[in-house]
Structure 1
Amino acid sequence: MSDHLSFPRQHARTQRFTLGTPRSLTVAPDGGRVVFLRSASGTDRANRLWVLDVREGGGEGDGGAERLVADPGVLLAGAREELTAEERARRERSREGSAGIVAYAVDGAVRTAAFALSGRLFTADLTADAAGDASGEGAGVRSRVRELPVAAPVIDPRPSPDGRHVAYVSGGALRVVAADGSGDRVVAGPGDGEGHVTWGLAEFVAAEEMDRSRGYWWSPDGDRLLAARVDDSPVRRWWIADPANPRDAPAEVAYPAAGTPNAEVTLALCGLDGSRTEVTWDRERYPYLARAHWSAAGPPLLLVQSRDQRGQAYLTVDVTTGRTTVARTEQDPAWLELSTGVPAWAPDGRMVRIEDRDGARVLVVGDEAVTDARLHVRAVLDVAADGVLFTASAGRDAKDPGVGEVHVHHAGADGVTRLTSAVGTHTAVRGGPSTVVSGTALDRPGAEVRVLRGEALTEVARVASYAERPVLTARPVLTRAGERGIPAAVLLPSGYREGDGPLPVLMDPYGGPHGQRVVASHNAHLTSQWFAEQGFAVVVADGRGTPGTSPEWEKAIAGDFAGVTLDDQVHALRALAASHPLDLERVAIRGWSYGGYLAALAVLRRPDVFHAAVSGAPVTDWRLYDTHYTERYLGDPGSAPEVYAANSLTDPAGWARGGPVRPLMVVHGLADDNVVAAHTLRLSSALLAAGRPHQVLPLSGVTHMTPQEQVAENLLLLQVDFLKQALGATGTGAAR
């Protein structure tokens, strides 16, 4: 990477420095193989499939050898990758911007992997010897990978636990093929006149909001599948046009906006012998299928939720009759949060879950809470005979509550032990005696992936990262602001010295649910640091509603996005001004998605505090956002219209009266099917009707993500120019 390359260009070209980083790691049950995806360089978008063979008795640095298993360039013979509309939609839901092999699934022994590439189905032998062929060229790689002749295009292929079959979705049908490529057939598919029905895929709100991207699950014996049938015919249709290409027909989108019908989701047990058994539960009371789990430790386990998400039930499924039994129910006056990795069965048959109990988010095994208020549990990573591997932040009763840190813990017979010690954010996967820990830190870019072995967790190998090193260094100061203790990061220009005087301020939040920005991770603060290098004091504040602090902190926004989240940005700003060089007469704010909503909200409701804003892809009218997200926080718009009005940006009644009109730039991708462009257009119409000047920057062909290199680069440059002009700020521009 040449020194003269600008940060915006490098940031865009490397997809925020994610390219070349090991991802999607899996460890074999015997601990002998670590499977992962990684592209060939920090600017290569095409992921390859790799295996690290972990050697017994290896010491640090010599305990493993990497080998390339599947290279998309070789498998496609240099042809361009082709994606169907369904696959593009799946990647949009998961915010997947890379190419090549973006996902894979393995059998129970982690001997076989299955993946889709350009709509075709491939399987890979993960145990084959690859001596001397790590380049991806020649017969070595091809001999370990085979294409199965199946119905295309292929979506979400997954081997059975015994490795004898591969299931996949094509044309809305769930299909199965033998591992040798024979016997391809439909297991469950839409019937005549069921054009809006799919089997084996997650519906929109599950993939977008529930973090459930799957629509089918193999039985432990590999003889049947638990499959979701999705009928989206009740969902209202929206049309997303491309104004830059008026000859193209608008795209039809089934979008379940708040207060409108959802897709109907049911389940069936589908045998490979052609049998089918409907799974029944009280769908009127619990219409949302939030989670499904099936392992050898117990029967299929479901987590279903009420539409208002204040009630949920854990159900076990009788695989003979399809009838369900309620194992446990939960209620919450605000909402019940969904967590990663749960519910699940422990090998001894106890249920593992994460629960909000006595003001803390705790790990529960059976009926016993194995953590307390000293930890805020984030996700379950693995459940094994010796205990549960999970991540957690410091809880409200922690003695040393590090700001923005996430650590890996183990809960076993001897209690809870923290496995990571370095300041940073960490996660892990494990198999047998091998635990693979991925960690980031504040004082170095990128992530380190270490393979640890045995009870002593001795490092025996590392998975190499090809990610590029940023041309600038982030220098965030992590702190807690004011009496509320709001987690915050402050970033100043690298050349700033005491005595230089106060700087114009740029608030740079996300500020809403599921979006923690203040983390102990270097790369997470790079864009904020770049803005700081332009002459700003940048403040990132995670106010109430953001994750990682406590259930009470998250749920303080129930029924009130606008008041709580904006008030905490103001509180953090004023509190930090007492100890940092912040010029409160020149304060701007920028953000994307919820952060875009918060930025526009700031200049419309608090022009006494905020003097300019850049609002990217904002939700301006919550009646236009989806059911599962919006109703969780604001309720049903039919029964609480006043709540939606109070949180809307398009209602002038909520704007400040008599105050100054502040500069506002609104940016929106016209192809966005998550926060549709109608949000920005309605806000612009309301502002125009009120005679309020503003700027709108429409992005043709851009979705909620901005993966296009030139678009992503120029967006940063346009924002800083707009903000400098709006605030009358000057900067060196050296970091461009």
Structure 2
Amino acid sequence: MNKTILLLMTGMIISGAELSYAQQRTYTMAQATNGLRQDLAPERIKQFEWIPGEDAYTRAVTANGAAAWVKYGVSARKSAASPADTLLTLSQFSKQLFAGAKSLRGFPVMHWLSGTEAWCNIENTLYSGRLENGAMQFHVWCTLPVDAENITVNPQSRQIAYTIKNNLLLHNTSGVTQQITNDTDVNIVNGKSVHREEFGIDKGIFFSPKGDLVAFYRMDQRMVNDYPIVDWSVVPAHANIIKYPMAGGKSHEVTLGIYQPSTQKTVFLKTGGPADHYLTCVTWAPDQQSVYVALLNREQNHLWLNQYNAVTGELMKTLFEETDNKYVQPTHPLTFIPGKPDQFIWWSNRDGYTHLYLYNTQGQLERQLTKGSWVVNELAGFHIAGNEVVITAAKESPMEKHGYAVNLKTAALRRLDQAAGWHDIQVSSNGAYLLDSYSAGNVPGVAQLAALSGKWQEQLLTAADPLRDFKRPEIRQVTLKADDGTPLYGKLILPVDFDSTRQYPVIVYLYNGPNVQLIHNTFPYSGNLWYEYMAQHGYIIFTMDGRGSANRGMAFEQATFRQLGTVEMNDQLQGVAYLKSLPYVNQQKMGVHGWSFGGFMTTSLMLRHPGVFQAAVAGGPVIDWSMYEVMYTERYMDTPQENPEGYATSNLLTKTKNLQGHLMLIHGTNDDVVVWQHSINFLKACVDNEVQVDYFVYPGHLHNVLGKDRTHLMQKITDYFDANLKL
């Protein structure tokens, strides 16, 4: 017995030593950069999907080294784990598809068509599967051309729409391909997303509810200026010409077509008005007789919700209008109430926050469904038995997202989760159950099922902490105030082994632009492992969402209107003042870093507030807003002709003489969002004014440097700060 105790004690000592050693680990740059998407990613439920018409779902699992696609039943009457049926193993799937000629490394994304049929896409060959005797049997459905894109499958009709280059095609249920459009001019584009994917637009193909009609965007961009994106990977280099509409210039013109496969004819909606207006929120009526479109003027301050006849294209009526003295920003289609084809939910910021409104199809407001000084984030589905719509919202805090059910008749709201954090909700087809997946600062991930009626729930996953063995920094939540008293939320990340009697260099990481929020209560609480890497190497990191960023309501967002880069910098300077008040911050060793809008902010701080920071790295920065795209820029700045003072104030080409300290700009050579000319022109201005600046490019990369090259990028940034803030 004494030997046993001694062995146990020895084992405990060894384990403790191993744990102590393991907790001293520091991140490699590769882990700090891509770890949360690779070896340090918390475990997640893979390929979860509710099965249509059933209280059941599927997910991809791995057991004993073998991957499988498994079906689980759900019942609130059961307290134990739901029974599971293996529908398909990966080896079986490979044999069905390739007869042993090759093996898949993992399941492709599987989509349910019905309770017994599913499909997937592997290299543009579509496979359909049917449930037979408790197992799935897959076969080739159709093979599309290798250059087919925007592949859209309608579960009801089984028709498949896709694009080839700039034209739209349809593969019907008889296996016949119909050419919906046949435009020979490459600058007339069909079936793709338009308006540079603003206004929530992420597709250009819209099947009708029964799937027998197809609505599609047609974009004429012949009038837009050509812009070269140079491919440097070939010799000689080749210029790929794109169309890039810059603020104040010619914009493209968009129409919406309705294709009838039975007649093979298309009618275009007669939207009228100026041709460069925006068509958003495209929604089929449940009876397929009409299509709803939100028509937004180019000034983006006046919206008309219109109903058009799907057969003739004629305007039937305008349901209502919305105006704002700054801008209206529609981003969601109509959502019709199940079983009530004359009622729909409309998203609006009209009361200052993003909320839901119940309308009838005559354009009459039935009631405002959500209200308060908080925003709705998503509409997840409907709890039909409870006559409720299920949403997520920032009601508890702008830094958290929770699930709620809202009664469609009374607008009564109830919270569906209990734990702090950032929750994502997936609702079953009849709304009886939901999957709640969430994380929080120190909660790597939890997934649980819950019944919409009652208190039943079942835990599916509690992820282990993949960072438990690393030496991690202390993180402090910070709340500051803007000059108008608005609360500003940020995080202060202290160096590991922090000593309050020492002074440390500090890096401010920022974005602070529209539609983006950096500060969330998610895992990891730092928000970024590179921040923690820098803390492991003796830096303080500070990040904060100033006015102009997302999830705080319209007054917060619109505070920057017509003056991008002014109010936001005032807020970031409040953060600087806070940092300088801390005795352990070395005020002579302060750096700033950001990308895209954050790159614009970084460069602006160095030129419009010189001397505050000693070193800065600006990635993909906007330098002159008159060279940025029409839709985004004119929403927040109006046109250069209407707001010359605002554009002049924010133009960084005229301010290079102000530079103090060290500034490095980084750009991807193939950037088609913030085109390379921004930083090239900035270099020219620096040369003209005899100002020294550092510069680095990433050949072949677009607006972001992704993949393995991102490790190189973050090492480059780190080395720059080390050279200028540490040595």
How far off is 1:697 after superposition?
0.8
Give the alignment partner of residue 148 of structure 1, picking from 142, 145, 151.
142
Q: For the Cα contact (< 8 Å) 1:360–1:376, is it kept in 2?
A: yes
How far off is 1:606 after superposition?
1.2
The aligned residue for residue 57 of structure 2 is 34
1:563-578 alignment, distance < 5 Å: 563-575=566-578, 577-578=580-581
How far off is 1:187 after superposition?
4.8
The aligned residue for residue 351 of structure 2 is 358
1:195-594 alignment, distance < 5 Å: 195-203=186-194, 205-207=195-197, 209-243=198-232, 245-273=234-262, 274-284=264-274, 287-294=277-284, 296=286, 299-324=290-315, 325-339=317-331, 341-347=332-338, 348=340, 349-366=342-359, 367=365, 368-383=367-382, 385=384, 386-394=387-395, 402=397, 404-412=399-407, 413=409, 415-431=412-428, 432=430, 433-445=432-444, 447-456=445-454, 458-460=456-458, 462=460, 472=470, 473=472, 475-482=474-481, 483-497=485-499, 499-523=500-524, 524-575=527-578, 577-578=580-581, 581-594=584-597
Higher relative contact order (CA 8 A, sep 6+): 1
Q: How far apart are the structure 1 equivalents of 2:216 and 2:522?
A: 38
Q: How far apart are the structure 1 equivalents of 2:80 and 2:314?
A: 52
The aligned residue for residue 713 of structure 2 is 715
Q: How far apart are the structure 2 equivalents of 1:683 and 1:323?
A: 49
Letter of the structure 2 residue corresponding to residue 9 of structure 1: A
Mark the CA change 1:100 to 1:330 in structure 2 (over 3 Å): closer, same or farther: farther
Q: For the Cα contact (< 8 Å) 2:252–2:276, is it kept in 1?
A: no
How far off is 1:333 after superposition?
1.1
The aligned residue for residue 634 of structure 2 is 631
Q: How far apart are the structure 2 equivalents of 1:694 and 1:80?
A: 52
Q: For the Cα contact (< 8 Å) 2:353–2:554, is it kept in 1?
A: yes
Higher alpha-carbon Rg: 2
1:173-184 alignment, distance < 5 Å: 173-179=167-173, 182-184=174-176
Letter of the structure 1 residue corresponding to residue 447 of structure 2: V
Q: For the Cα contact (< 8 Å) 2:347–2:356, is it kept in 1?
A: yes
How far off is 1:454 after superposition?
4.5
How far off is 1:506 after superposition?
0.9
Give the alignment partner of residue 8 of structure 1, picking from 29, 50, 54.
29
How far off is 1:228 after superposition?
1.5
Q: For the Cα contact (< 8 Å) 2:473–2:495, is it kept in 1?
A: no
The aligned residue for residue 722 of structure 2 is 724
Q: How far apart are the structure 1 equivalents of 2:518 and 2:116?
A: 38
Q: How far apart are the structure 2 equivalents of 1:201 and 1:116?
A: 19
Q: How far apart are the structure 2 equivalents of 1:528 and 1:717?
A: 13
Mark the CA change 1:265 to 1:671 in structure 2 (over 3 Å): closer, same or farther: same
Mark the CA change 1:577 to 1:126 in structure 2 (over 3 Å): closer, same or farther: farther
The DSSP-based 3-state class of the residue aligned with 1:351 is strand
CA offsets, 1:468-520, max 9 Å, x none?
Answer: 658645653223113431111111123214x3334222111111111100011
Q: For the Cα contact (< 8 Å) 2:254–2:275, is it kept in 1?
A: no
The DSSP-based 3-state class of the residue aligned with 1:708 is coil
Mark the CA change 1:145 to 1:689 in structure 2 (over 3 Å): closer, same or farther: farther
Q: How far apart are the structure 2 equivalents of 1:323 and 1:113?
A: 38
Mark the CA change 1:454 to 1:720 in structure 2 (over 3 Å): closer, same or farther: same
The DSSP-based 3-state class of the residue aligned with 2:565 is helix
Q: For the Cα contact (< 8 Å) 1:69–1:126, is it kept in 2?
A: no
Q: For the Cα contact (< 8 Å) 1:152–1:170, is it kept in 2?
A: no
Mark the CA change 1:129 to 1:619 in structure 2 (over 3 Å): closer, same or farther: farther
Q: For the Cα contact (< 8 Å) 2:168–2:191, is it kept in 1?
A: yes
CA offsets, 1:359-392, max 9 Å, x none?
Answer: 3332212222222224322232225642222221
Letter of the structure 2 residue corresponding to residue 8 of structure 1: M
Letter of the structure 1 residue corresponding to residue 29 of structure 2: P
CA offsets, 1:151-201, max 9 Å, x none?
Answer: 44322333324243222223433322245xx3322251124x433223221
Letter of the structure 1 residue corresponding to residue 31 of structure 2: Q
Q: For the Cα contact (< 8 Å) 1:110–1:126, is it kept in 2?
A: no
Q: How far apart are the structure 2 equivalents of 1:174 and 1:159?
A: 14
Letter of the structure 2 residue corresponding to residue 434 of structure 1: Y
Q: For the Cα contact (< 8 Å) 2:73–2:82, is it kept in 1?
A: no
Instruction: Structure 1: give runs of 5+ residues left out of the alignment.
Output: 42-47, 82-98, 132-139, 395-400, 730-736
Give the alignment partner of residue 53 of structure 1, picking from 58, 61, 72.
72
1:122 aligns with 2:126: yes
Q: How far apart are the structure 2 equivalents of 1:562 and 1:546?
A: 12
How far off is 1:669 after superposition?
0.9
Letter of the structure 2 residue corresponding to residue 292 of structure 1: V
The aligned residue for residue 690 of structure 1 is 689
The aligned residue for residue 86 of structure 1 is none
Q: For the Cα contact (< 8 Å) 2:562–2:638, is it kept in 1?
A: yes
Give the alignment partner of residue 156 of structure 2, picking from 155, 159, 162.
162
Q: Which moved more, 1:380-389 or 1:551-560?
A: 380-389
The DSSP-based 3-state class of the residue aligned with 2:330 is coil
Mark the CA change 1:510 to 1:527 in structure 2 (over 3 Å): closer, same or farther: same
Q: Which moved more, 1:266-275 or 1:633-642?
A: 633-642
Q: How far apart are the structure 2 equivalents of 1:8 and 1:80?
A: 33
Q: For the Cα contact (< 8 Å) 1:424–1:520, is it kept in 2?
A: yes
TM-score normalised by the chain length of structure 1: 0.83
Q: How far apart are the structure 2 equivalents of 1:690 and 1:534?
A: 36
The aligned residue for residue 94 of structure 1 is none
Q: How far apart are the structure 2 equivalents of 1:130 and 1:693?
A: 70
1:644 aligns with 2:665: no
Q: Once the two structures are aligned, what percentage of the paired residues are identical? A: 20
CA offsets, 1:536-568, max 9 Å, x none?
Answer: 111111000000112100010101112111111
Q: How far apart are the structure 1 equivalents of 2:710 and 2:565?
A: 28
Q: How far apart are the structure 2 equivalents of 1:215 and 1:680?
A: 32
Q: For the Cα contact (< 8 Å) 1:168–1:174, is it kept in 2?
A: yes
Mark the CA change 1:55 to 1:312 in structure 2 (over 3 Å): closer, same or farther: same
Q: Which moved more, 1:163-172 or 1:215-224?
A: 163-172
CA offsets, 1:663-719, max 9 Å, x none?
Answer: 01111111211112111111111122222211101111211122221x211222221
The DSSP-based 3-state class of the residue aligned with 1:565 is helix
Q: How far apart are the structure 1 equivalents of 2:203 and 2:468?
A: 35
Over aligned residue pairs, what C-alpha RMSD do you find?
Answer: 3.4
Q: For the Cα contact (< 8 Å) 2:232–2:238, is it kept in 1?
A: no
CA offsets, 1:383-437, max 9 Å, x none?
Answer: 564222222113xxxxxx5351111222114611121222211121212222122
Letter of the structure 2 residue corresponding to residue 241 of structure 1: V
Q: For the Cα contact (< 8 Å) 1:232–1:254, is it kept in 2?
A: yes
Q: How far apart are the structure 1 equivalents of 2:134 and 2:602?
A: 53
Q: For the Cα contact (< 8 Å) 2:61–2:70, is it kept in 1?
A: no
Q: Which moved more, 1:252-261 or 1:570-579?
A: 570-579
Q: For the Cα contact (< 8 Å) 1:114–1:122, is it kept in 2?
A: yes
Q: How far apart are the structure 1 equivalents of 2:88 and 2:495?
A: 42
